[in-house]
Structure 1
Amino acid sequence: MRLLASEVALAVGGRLVGPDVAVSGVSIDSRTVAQGELFVPVVAERDGHDFIDDALAAGAAAYLTSAPPRGATAVAVADTAAAVAELGRHVRSRFDGPVVGITGSVGKTSVKDMAAAAIGADRPTHASPMSFNNELGVPLTLVNCPESAEAVVVEMGARGKGHITWLCSLGRPTVGVVTAVGAAHTELFGTVEAVAEAKGELVESLGPSGVAVLNADQPLVSAMAGRTQAKVLTFGRSTGDVRASGVSLDVGLCPRFRLETPNGQAEVALAARGEHMVDNALAAAAAALAVGVGVDEIAAGLGSAKLSPWRMEVTELASGAVLINDAYNANPMSMAAGLRSLAAVDRSRRVAVLGIMAELGDRAAAEHAAIGALARELSIEVIPVATGDYGRPPVADAAAAVAALGPVDADTAVLVKASRAAGLDAVATALSES
């Protein structure tokens, strides 16, 4: 994205102060702002306006501000976060390629990464970094789209009813993917059915020329076909338009399978780890198919896809132990998938260091207890951190969890997983550095 500051001002309803310079890209972090970018100071726990001088010193060409301008080139606005959303809307209006929107209770980021790789095997493709899926992340993804991109993949999260509808008004997806619906954020939504209602806003936003990609294995998702004007393309392990057959795992937990689609078949060897990644790959393959990518290109792209950090990162430690770092986030569906992946590792001792699954509301105790029961069924030792709901006495923090693990030798496999707020990546880091 390359714009003049005057165009930025017009798009966001702001006032240009200073020279009319060109900007390329947008950053909300003064520590990572690049030469020529537009700096957007966000007012949150810290006021980003305090870092405008740092951003300019780092090379920012201009900045938004809701405070009095302080020299250089500024665009004065009432609300900087609202302004960056409007800028995302403006940049989207200039893009005429396909935009793939992805939502769901689990797998959003992994499907985004895989879809970007699958589509990217055919044409230049831009995607959200990491989990940029909220009211800031979606517009930032749009405004940072390179001029060379011919397709965009956008992850969309839901923090309440109507949230995805609003995100879709910015991104205007032409393809909408719903990965799965489960007990995630039920503290906010109340019921799984309410989660499905919110996630389905994505397919409702699609017009008759769009494509809704839906999980055929999940009734709450497949039922969304009745909520869209778009063509429906389904995926699933054994049902749906895009399927997987002959699924197997290699010794590193990388899945192998035959991709079956209405346009042909191809063998797929994923670099991503865990059998549940097959479902994510099928969703991504369907999205790529929807924008016209050939089956062989899809298979090649899926095979080269690299996932965002702390998602099923499998490493062998110096001791020979296996570490599965899946510490970025957790809900009941992803936690169960993580435990089953751990159970598939060929080690005599399997230990899961588990933190809290956040935002489950009244379901929290029961959902944690169910995961504890699954671990016992799979003969997995559990070290709970800061919660007793898994059915075992907890340790206090990450350091105590590392101590409770004791010697981690070549006969041991360890899974580290929790909601991001638990900070259990510290356990994985400590084990990797030991």
Structure 2
Amino acid sequence: MTPLWTSDEASAATGGRATRAFSATGVSIDSRTLRPGDLFVALKDQRDGHAFVAQALANGAAAALVSRIPDGLTDGAPLLLVPDVLEALAALGRVARARSRARVIGVTGSVGKTSTKEMLRAALRGQGTVHAAEASYNNHWGVPLTLARMPADVDFAVIEIGMNHPGEIAPLARLARPHLALITTVAPAHLEAFDSITAIAEEKAAILEGLEPGGLAILPADLEVTPVLAARALALGVPAMTFGQSGAADWRLSDIQITPEATIARASHADQTFLFKVLTPGRHFAANALAVLAAAEALGLDLTITACDLGLWSPPAGRGTRERIALDPVDGAGFDLIDDAFNANPASVAASLELLAAMAPTDGVGRISTGRRIAILGDMLELGPTEAALHRAIADHPALAGIALVHCVGPRMRALHEALPRRQRGEWVETAAELVPRARLLVDAGDIVLVKGSKGIKVSLVVDALRKLGQSGPSRTRGAE
């Protein structure tokens, strides 16, 4: 296998000192998932990675990137010594980006970053090799790690860029140096650190500061803050394409059909009208897929091949995976589970509720004669001083009219629980663990159950409990992020 980093290359990139020669075929930050031949990066995050260097080397790491010699090792071990590990990782990413021939697409947005990244991976791979992170590696260490792992000879790279606080996106964008910058949407998220949607839009627009000369912005057309995004592009001299349902959009959705298995959309661009689909229900997926088609055209790719490959995409695990849980192994009676337990903010919760409302439960197969749509909603985190109002406002969403019960998890979701009509008011618990023992009482055959919440509220525990009620059958389709 061609080495990704030799000791000479890594030393030159980081200014570090290699204790001995090595050749690494990958880069890892986790000794548990490390593959033999990886360069282990001893980051300091929740725990100090230096404590796991010995284990990483025992597991087959080619070397370790460290700021000191860990206890129990000598400088005879394969180490790359640097003053600061995170800065050295960024340096590796910078050099990897510089030596790559890839056309780079940077993706940011309040909702849909990871799904759009994966759509791009699926849509581009039929016309070249694609590099993208396997998870949501979009922060101050995730972007450098994704770049440091990038082979020099890939054709396309998709780099997801996120933020929690002002000033985070621009440095990461300058590191990634995208040829295309795609903003999925701007919505209330991380309001704990921002005082308005406009401020969030300004931070998202900072991705344009990293664009390569001649780069292009792909922007949502239907937002109140679209002018904020467009103004930043204009100020930077960046040409922009817009997508959405607005009549002024360069790429315009004219019709969306949602079925239990897919989303089918009609769109127009310039003088062309075309159909495309993704194998998952959700109106917002149509918009993200349209942005992917816009990116493919900007890259000079064949749109027919792109649309066909895009049609095979389904969401990543934990971001809307829909599966059948069989309660009775004999007759197959069961319920449908939508696992969307990774992330939540007002926009993504609204999208998930709309998806749930559009799905049809099955009548006449359970203890309760009518199949139900049930939502289990966990706290939306990092929303700042208006968090109570934003949770309470979910009760006014039109999609709730078709949902039978809403169970609420977390102290913030109590505001929603109290605002719900009595007929829809399910249980409220402070922690997800409290709901786990009651999982069997929450569902019946024929139901469709959505579990949605921010990762920190751990509603994934409820997902696991619901899965254990039966044997999961083959996944029929996928749902919302």
TM-score relative to the length of structure 2: 0.86
Counterpart residue number, 1:384: 408
Distance between the aligned counterparts of 2:134 and 2:99, measured in 1?
A: 21
Counterpart residue number, 2:356: 342
Q: Residue 215 of structure 1 contacts residue 222 of structure 1 at CA under 8 Å; is this kept in 2?
A: no
Counterpart residue number, 1:430: 465
Q: CA 1:86–1:106 in structure 2 vs 1: closer, same or farther (change >3 Å)? A: same
- AA aligned to 1:354 is L
Aligned residues: 432
Counterpart residue number, 2:280: 272
Distance between the aligned counterparts of 2:314 and 2:439, measured in 1?
A: 32
Counterpart residue number, 2:366: none
- Give the SS at the match of 2:415: coil
Are 2:303 and 1:295 aligned? Answer: yes
Counterpart residue number, 2:428: 394
Are 2:131 and 1:126 aligned? Answer: yes
Query: For each residue in 1:82-127, what CA deviation from the matched residue of structure 2 results, as whole angstroms up to 9, or x when unmatched?
Result: 2101110111011132110011111111111111211222111111
Equivalent in 343, 347, 356 of residue 379 of structure 2? 356
Equivalent in 1, 9, 12 of residue 7 of structure 1? 9
Over the aligned positions, Cα root-mean-square deviation in angstroms equals: 1.9
Equivalent in 151, 162, 168 of residue 156 of structure 2? 151
Distance between the aligned counterparts of 1:295 and 1:222, measured in 2?
A: 28
Distance between the aligned counterparts of 1:302 and 1:99, measured in 2?
A: 18
Q: Residue 28 of structure 1 contacts residue 39 of structure 1 at CA under 8 Å; is this kept in 2?
A: yes
- Give the SS at the match of 1:316: strand
- Give the SS at the match of 1:121: helix
1:193-208 pair list within 5 angstroms: 193-208=198-213
Shift of 1:206: 2.2
Shift of 1:395: 1.5
| Bigger CA radius of gyration | 2
Shift of 1:405: 6.5
Query: For each residue in 1:48-93, what CA deviation from the matched residue of structure 2 results, as whole angstroms up to 9, or x when unmatched?
Result: 1111111111111111111126332211111111210111011101
Shift of 1:155: 0.3
Distance between the aligned counterparts of 1:176 and 1:349, measured in 2?
A: 41
Counterpart residue number, 2:104: 99
Q: Residue 178 of structure 2 contacts residue 211 of structure 2 at CA under 8 Å; is this kept in 1?
A: yes
Counterpart residue number, 2:41: 40
Which sits farther off after the overlay, 300-309 or 154-163? 300-309
Q: Residue 180 of structure 1 contacts residue 221 of structure 1 at CA under 8 Å; is this kept in 2?
A: no
Distance between the aligned counterparts of 1:169 and 1:376, measured in 2?
A: 42
Distance between the aligned counterparts of 2:291 and 2:277, measured in 1?
A: 15
Shift of 1:15: 1.5
Q: Residue 101 of structure 2 contacts residue 154 of structure 2 at CA under 8 Å; is this kept in 1?
A: no
The unaligned stretches of length 5 or more in structure 1 are none
Q: Residue 314 of structure 1 contacts residue 322 of structure 1 at CA under 8 Å; is this kept in 2?
A: yes
Distance between the aligned counterparts of 2:435 and 2:339, measured in 1?
A: 14
The unaligned stretches of length 5 or more in structure 2 are 328-333, 362-370, 419-426, 470-481
Are 2:327 and 1:325 aligned? Answer: no
Shift of 1:146: 3.0
Which sits farther off after the overlay, 361-370 or 233-242? 233-242
Which sits farther off after the overlay, 203-212 or 95-104? 203-212
Q: Residue 64 of structure 1 contacts residue 75 of structure 1 at CA under 8 Å; is this kept in 2?
A: yes
Shift of 1:265: 4.3
Distance between the aligned counterparts of 2:213 and 2:270, measured in 1?
A: 20
Distance between the aligned counterparts of 1:372 and 1:53, measured in 2?
A: 52
Distance between the aligned counterparts of 1:357 and 1:60, measured in 2?
A: 39
Counterpart residue number, 2:252: 243
Q: Residue 23 of structure 1 contacts residue 61 of structure 1 at CA under 8 Å; is this kept in 2?
A: yes
Q: Residue 273 of structure 1 contacts residue 314 of structure 1 at CA under 8 Å; is this kept in 2?
A: no
- Give the SS at the match of 2:355: helix
Distance between the aligned counterparts of 2:103 and 2:440, measured in 1?
A: 48
Q: CA 1:93–1:153 in structure 2 vs 1: closer, same or farther (change >3 Å)? A: same
Counterpart residue number, 2:389: 366
- Give the SS at the match of 1:389: helix
Percent identity of the aligned residues? 40
Q: CA 1:256–1:121 in structure 2 vs 1: closer, same or farther (change >3 Å)? A: same
Q: Residue 31 of structure 2 contacts residue 52 of structure 2 at CA under 8 Å; is this kept in 1?
A: yes
Q: Residue 203 of structure 1 contacts residue 224 of structure 1 at CA under 8 Å; is this kept in 2?
A: no
TM-score relative to the length of structure 1: 0.94
Counterpart residue number, 1:411: 446
Q: Residue 208 of structure 1 contacts residue 231 of structure 1 at CA under 8 Å; is this kept in 2?
A: no
Distance between the aligned counterparts of 1:214 and 1:43, measured in 2?
A: 35
Shift of 1:331: 0.2
Query: For each residue in 1:332-364, what CA deviation from the matched residue of structure 2 results, as whole angstroms up to 9, or x when unmatched?
Result: 000011111111111241111111000001110
Shift of 1:394: 1.8
Distance between the aligned counterparts of 1:95 and 1:329, measured in 2?
A: 32
Q: Residue 255 of structure 2 contacts residue 267 of structure 2 at CA under 8 Å; is this kept in 1?
A: no
Query: For each residue in 1:130-157, what CA deviation from the matched residue of structure 2 results, as whole angstroms up to 9, or x when unmatched?
Result: 2110111111111112344111000000
Q: Residue 30 of structure 1 contacts residue 51 of structure 1 at CA under 8 Å; is this kept in 2?
A: yes
